[in-house]
Amino acid sequence: MAANPEPDVPANHNENRRTFLKQSSLLTALALVPAPVVSAAEAKLDERVAESIEKVPLSLKVNGKKYKLSVEPRTTLLDLLRENLHLNGTKKGCDYGQCGACTVHVEGQRVNSCLSFAVMHDGQEITTIEGLADGDKLHPMQEAFVKHDGFQCGYCTPGQIMSAVACVREGHAGSADEIREYMSGNICRCGAYSNIVAAIQDVKQGGQKV
């Protein structure tokens, strides 16, 4: 598998360039860019940054624990988990739905938490990697990843494991090929793919409750 899920979409350096445009003075920014770009930059600088921030109430159940929160609507579910609830197990890889590092379960279904606003999940139940183990006892999928060396650097691993659990629950772990297809939403830059497939097959064949 290639590394970039969406080769035609520019990678994050564009984001940095925009941040730069916003931070530097208008004149400097405009002096640096060619003419056709200027109008686009001006549109961007028109952000109403000073506008008063209206927070919205939000109730969530995360890993069995109830939270009553007040959040800005633009907070993604991923940022809420990491920044507000300090559940840093869920990772931010791309922030654009292209890598799967941010995979969590919402109402039991796996989703990319980076492409969803937290307020859209009012009243829902979220499970993150922190909620998978039973106290000190690892979840069978976590055990299997350890046993099969299903990671190297470990950055993609929380997302891989959340996705793998869902893959088995959905009934999409019938063969190595099916696992590869249904795990394709999780990119591993270290290329631990074959060991990840082995771990999932082990759990599936072991028949434990996931």
Partner 1 sequence: MNQFQYVRPTKAQAAIDAVAKDANAAFIAGGTNLVDLMKRGVMTPQKLVDINRLPLRQIERVGTGLRIGALALNSAVADDRLVREKHPLLALALNAGASPQLRNMATVGGNMLQRTRCAYFYDVAMPCNKRQPGSGCGALEGINRMHAIFGFSDKCIAVHPSDMSVALVALDATVLLSGPKGDRKLAFADFHRLPGTTPERDTNLEPSELITAVEIPDSPFTRHVHYQKVRERASYAFALLSVAAALDLDGNTIKAARLAMGGVAHKPWRLAAAEQALVGQPATEAAFQRAAAVAMQGAKAFKHNEYKLRLGPNAIVQALKTAAAA
Ligand X SMILES: Cc1cc2nc3c(=O)[nH]c(=O)nc-3n(C[C@H](O)[C@H](O)[C@H](O)COP(=O)(O)OP(=O)(O)OC[C@H]3O[C@@H](n4cnc5c(N)ncnc54)[C@H](O)[C@@H]3O)c2cc1C
Q: Is 102 in the site for ligand FES (CB under 6 A)?
A: yes
Give the H or E element holding residue 158: helix 157-170
Binding mask 92-131 for ligand X (x = CB under 6 A): -----xx---------------------------------
Q: Is 100 in the site for ligand FES (CB under 6 A)?
A: yes
- 6, 9, 13, 14: CA torsion to nearest 10: -160
> Could you list the residues that contact partner 1 (CB under 8 A)?
1-2, 5-10, 14-15, 17-18, 21, 33, 36-37, 39-41, 43-44, 47-49, 51, 53-54, 56, 72-74, 76, 95-97, 100, 103, 109-112, 114-117, 119-120, 122, 163, 166-167, 170, 172, 180-182, 184-187
Minimum gap (Å) between residue 123 Cβ and partner 1: 10
Q: Is 182 in the site for ligand FES (CB under 6 A)?
A: no
With beta carbons less than 8 A apart as the criterion, state whether 160 and 150 touch: yes
Q: How far is CA 205 from CA 141, 173, 178, 180, in A?
A: 12, 10, 14, 16
Q: Distance between CA atoms of 22 and 96, rounded to whole angstroms? A: 20
Give the H or E element holding residue 23: helix 13-23
